[in-house]
Structure 1
Amino acid sequence: MALTEQMQGQGTWLFKHRGVLPLIIFVIGAGLFLKNESSPENWILKEEIQHYLYELCCLFVSFIGFFIRIYTVGYSRPNTSGRNTKQQVADELNTTGIYSIVRNPLYVGNFFMWLGIAMLTGNFWFVIAFTLFYFLYYERIIFTEEEFLKNKFGETYLNWAKKTPIIVPRFSSFVKSEYSFNWKKVLRQEKNGFAALMIIFCMFDIAGELIKKQPNINETLQSFGIFSVLAYLVLKFIKYRTKLLQDPF
């Protein structure tokens, strides 16, 4: 089998199962986090306030990724930048807005979201390993997606790809999006990610305090967690019981 066909086959499989990556990160990260919490002498940050601020710093990193996703989804064309896993879908080619400075903004957003979680472990080598694994994992997916776009959009895609970086943004090439921001699409698609992110942070925080037998819960994190769950339930109800989140086209 040719290397190109092999990479495309691997990319297709990884695209369909890309939800597995968060589970791998969560399981390994949770184990390392619990190990560190049970051995506080291994932590560089000794004071409780330092732990508190570090958790908020990790949350901030994850929020950077989440807001990148919000911006990308909100300004993307209809039937693009979705959460589909069965097959590649792109009715049109996104080339303006954030897509004018980087070709894969959603994967950049995902990286920062999961980087914040990886940082929670307090394990420097795990953060490095996660970063390397993430880019190796998504390399095949990006290759497969770009083959799909090249075959579908031809020269239009090639001309855009020549001037737009794959993963590191070139801010000087920014072109304003031709679409208005679509809050309905954002609320439909991103409610799951927001709730999952906050639940993970809350679980890590509670587990750490239980291990240390210190009921000093990070109230800021827990407030975000409760809000995310309530928002998810409300938006889920609105989505399936009303037409408020449906697009007019």
Structure 2
Amino acid sequence: MGLHREFEAQGQWLFRWRSVLPFLFTPLIVLAVADMHWPFGSARLHTIWEYACLTVSLLGLAIRVFVAGCVPAGTSGRNTKGQCAASLNTTGLYSLTRHPLYLGNYLIGLGAMMTPSVWWLPVIYSISFVAYYERIMFAEEAFLRKQFGVRFSTWAEVTPAFLPNFARWNAPSLGFSVRSAMRREYTALFVIIASHSALEIAGHAVVEHRYVLEAKWAFLLLAGAACYFTLRGLKKYSRLLNVSGR
């Protein structure tokens, strides 16, 4: 098997199991939390830092939400069994980068990896992310090249694979749908809130030797859980979040 087909086969396998990647970092996160400390010994600086880390994760979510609210049905989904694309997205965030959803994923994870304030965790995460998702992007693009031919090649030649080129902005062909975005991304919101809240509890346990969840984090966690179960129920038992063509 040549390298081209080998990379594509590896990418297809990794694509199917891409949701497992965060769990592979659990042992490293435990080690990082065990070495956790407040920046320069200041609880105030820690508070500022945790907000900065949460902002990075929310920026990643914002990218995913914008994509989810603007793409047509049959694209940019959460399918795991194989590649599918009813059409080729080339506008909106897809005019800046060929893989905006993976850019969003990277930032969501990076915010969490930065939280323990140890330099090596976000470095290892970034290297692993590139090694893992490079194969997935290779496989996806091989599929899209076969599916859309010259149209894909023309778009790919001028659009960066990952880091966005803001000079190439082209407004999305479909307007933003709040209902479509909520239907697709409510899980990501809850995962961000829950993971940062868990890191906050672990940080206080390691540094201050006490288990505590500050009021602001408790509120965020309760609000996130309420949002998750409400939207999950609406998605499963009603058509309120369904939008024609999305």
TM over 0.5: yes
Aligned residues: 244
* Greater shift in the superposed pair: 47-56 or 209-218: 209-218
Residues in 2 aligned to 1:181 and 1:48: alpha-carbon distance in whole angstroms: 40
Task: Render the CA deviation track for 1:67-99: whole Å, top value 9, x for unaligned.
Answer: 011111111122111111111111000001111
2:53 paired residue among 29, 45, 58: 58
Aligned to 1:137: 132
Structure 2 CA distance for aligned equivalents of residues 102 and 82 of structure 1: 17
Would the aligned equivalents of 1:100 and 1:164 in 2 still touch at CA under 8 Å?
yes
Q: Distance in 2 between matches of 1:223 and 1:206?
A: 14
Does the 8 Å CA contact 1:52/1:218 hold for their aligned counterparts?
no
Counterpart of 1:152 (choices 147, 156, 181) is 147
- Aligned-partner Cα distance in 2 for 1:116–1:218: 19
Superposed displacement of residue 215, structure 1? 5.5
* 1:70 counterpart (65, 68, 82): 65
Q: Map of 1:41-190 to 2, 5 A cutoff?
A: 43-190=38-185
Q: Deviations over 1:124-145 (max 9, x none)?
A: 1221111111111100000000
* Distance in 2 separating the partners of 1:8 and 1:181: 33
What secondary structure is seen at the aligned counterpart in 2 of 1:158? Answer: helix
Q: Deviations over 1:219-243 (max 9, x none)?
A: 3233222111110011111112211
Equivalent of residue 239 in structure 1, options 235, 240, 244: 235
Question: Which residue of structure 1 lines up, in the alignment, with residue 216 of structure 2?
Answer: 220
Q: For residues 187 and 46 of structure 2, what CA distance do their matches in structure 1 show?
A: 27
Note if contact 2:197-2:213 (Cα within 8 Å) is conserved in structure 1.
no
Post-superposition offset of 1:201 = 0.8
Preserved contact between residue 96 and residue 177 of structure 1 (Cα < 8 Å): yes
What is the Cα deviation at residue 31 of structure 1?
Answer: 2.9
One-letter code aligned to 2:35: N
Q: Which amino acid aligns with 1:217?
A: L
Q: Name the amino acid aligned to 2:43.
A: E
**8 Å Cα contact 2:16/2:80 also seen in 1:** yes
CA apart distance, 1:161: 0.5
Question: Residues 29-69 of structure 1: CA distance to partner in whole angstroms, max 9, x if unpaired?
Answer: 13311x124xx4xx543111111111111101111101011
Cα RMSD after superposing both structures: 1.4
> Any conservation in 2 of the 1:72–1:105 contact (CA below 8 Å)?
yes
CA distance in 1, matches of 2:138, 2:16: 14
> Any conservation in 1 of the 2:202–2:211 contact (CA below 8 Å)?
no
Contact 2:182 2:231 in 1 (8 A): yes
Q: TM-score w.r.t. structure 2 length? A: 0.94
Residue type matched to 1:100 in 2?
A: S
Aligned to 1:4: 4
Counterpart position of 1:194: 189
Task: Give, in whole Å, the separation in 2 of the partners of 1:53 and 1:30.
Answer: 22
Distance 1:205 1:157 in 2: 44
Aligned residue in 1 for 2:17: 17
| Contact 2:98–2:162 (8 Å) recurs in 1 | yes
How far apart are 1:208 and its partner, in Å? 2.2
Deviates more, 1:45-54 or 1:64-73: 45-54
Q: Distance in 2 between matches of 1:20 and 1:27?
A: 14
Q: SS of the counterpart of 2:176?
A: coil
Percent same amino acid at aligned positions?
Answer: 32
- Output the CA distance in 2 between the equivalents of 1:127 and 1:230: 30
